Amino acid sequence: MPELPEIEVICQGLRPLLVDQMITQIAYNNKPLRNPVDIEKIRKEIVFKRITSIERRAKYILILMDNGATLVIHLGMTGNLGVFPQESPLAKHDHVQWTLNNGNQFRYNDIRRFGSIHILSAAETEVREDTFFKTSGPEPFGTQFTANYLLKLATNKKVTVKQFIMDSKVVVGIGNIYANESLFRAGIQPDKPVKDLSKPQWQALVQTIKKVLRHAIECGGSTISNFLNASQERGYFQMNFKVYGKAGQPCPQCKTPLSKSKIAGRATFYCNKCQR
Ligand SMILES: [Zn+2]
């Protein structure tokens, strides 16, 4: 499952290949994704329109067009995007192809088809935060994501801090690995009820979350540098994890063997001594 840093890197990789290109044609094999693909509406909104920018919101890739419409792509579990010369043969599980006026083709590949492709008209794009992204919390790099915001939201709540930061209504894009790593670096016990965190702890957590995600994006930047004809291989970036997957190994700070438990069914790694 691609996480926020990977989606961010994909957006960075796509920008030089897609921005300023005009979409001249769209092909679709009619296989359903997680939601039905409204290919007629997609054609009507974006054929012969030019791509002006590419943005990320939560784990969605937003491709903005010069008429104000937005193509919204979610990669689900196994979705992948690539840009190829138009004449290169399609790969198995290539479901949608957008032909560009420079002769390249932008392709969506998805083995398990849990991804989704939506189109928002110009009017729908304008209200996207109140409709399409209504249940999405703030961005971790956004100005809204602060210690005060979390402190207020956590008042009287008993949910564990790990579940809380992984809840996309609280903040988007913090998956299991990044939650584990951030809590370790902030020195916070993952199963601590959120009502018991102090303001300095929230401040430390907000800072580490930003740092951990930014580091992952930097690590990934080199992984997907050659996006054109990129292989369909994917995986987590070669980031150095301090605790994730390291149960029983010595804590990088105090050498105590790291512990493992489950919180809300998700593997949780922590140091009993360093995290409080
Ligand atoms: Zn430790």
Counting residues of the chain whose pLDDT is more than 90, the rounded percentage is 83
Which CATH number does the domain 147-270 belong to among 3.40.50.720, 3.90.1300.10, 1.10.8.50, 1.10.630.10? 1.10.8.50
Average pLDDT taken over every residue of the chain: 92
Structure tokens at 118: 């939506």
Which of the four pLDDT bands, split at 50, 70 and 90, describes residue 238? Answer: low
Distance CA 80, CA 233 (A): 9
Tell me, yes or no, if 6 is annotated catalytic.
no
For ligand 1, the distance from its centroid to the CA atom of residue 187, given in whole angstroms, is 9
Which CATH number does the domain 4-130 belong to among 3.40.50.150, 3.20.20.80, 3.40.1390.30, 3.20.190.10? 3.20.190.10
Looking at residue 217, its pLDDT comes to 86
For ligand 1, the distance from its centroid to the CA atom of residue 263, given in whole angstroms, is 19
Looking at residue 270, its pLDDT comes to 98
Looking at residue 239, its pLDDT comes to 66
Tell me, yes or no, if 2 is annotated catalytic.
yes
pLDDT in tens, 207-222: 999 999 998 888 775 5
For ligand 1, the distance from its centroid to the CA atom of residue 44, given in whole angstroms, is 57
pTM: 0.91
pLDDT in tens, 91-105: 999 999 999 999 999
Answer yes or no: are the C-beta atoms of 42 and 98 closer than 8 Å: no
pLDDT in tens, 47-81: 999 999 999 999 999 999 999 999 999 999 888 89
Domain segments of the chain as ranges: 4-130, 147-270
Judged by average pLDDT, the poorest of 73-87, 162-176, 197-211, 230-244 is 230-244
Angle between helices 199-223 and 4-18 in degrees, nearest 10: 40
17 closest CA partner among 240, 224, 257, 246: 224
For ligand 1, the distance from its centroid to the CA atom of residue 243, given in whole angstroms, is 10
pLDDT in tens, 144-194: 999 999 999 999 999 999 999 999 999 999 999 999 999 999 999 999 999
Looking at residue 236, its pLDDT comes to 47
Tell me, yes or no, if 260 is annotated catalytic.
no
107 or 229: which carries more pLDDT confidence? Answer: 107
Compute the average pLDDT of residues 7-20.
Answer: 91
Backbone angles phi, psi at 194, to 5 degrees: -60, -30
Residue 1 has pLDDT above 90, yes or no: no
From the list 45, 56, 57, 59, the catalytic residue is 59
Which of the four pLDDT bands, split at 50, 70 and 90, describes residue 226? Answer: very low
Residue 243 has pLDDT above 80, yes or no: yes
For ligand 1, the distance from its centroid to the CA atom of residue 254, given in whole angstroms, is 4
Which of helix, strand or coil describes residue 100?
strand
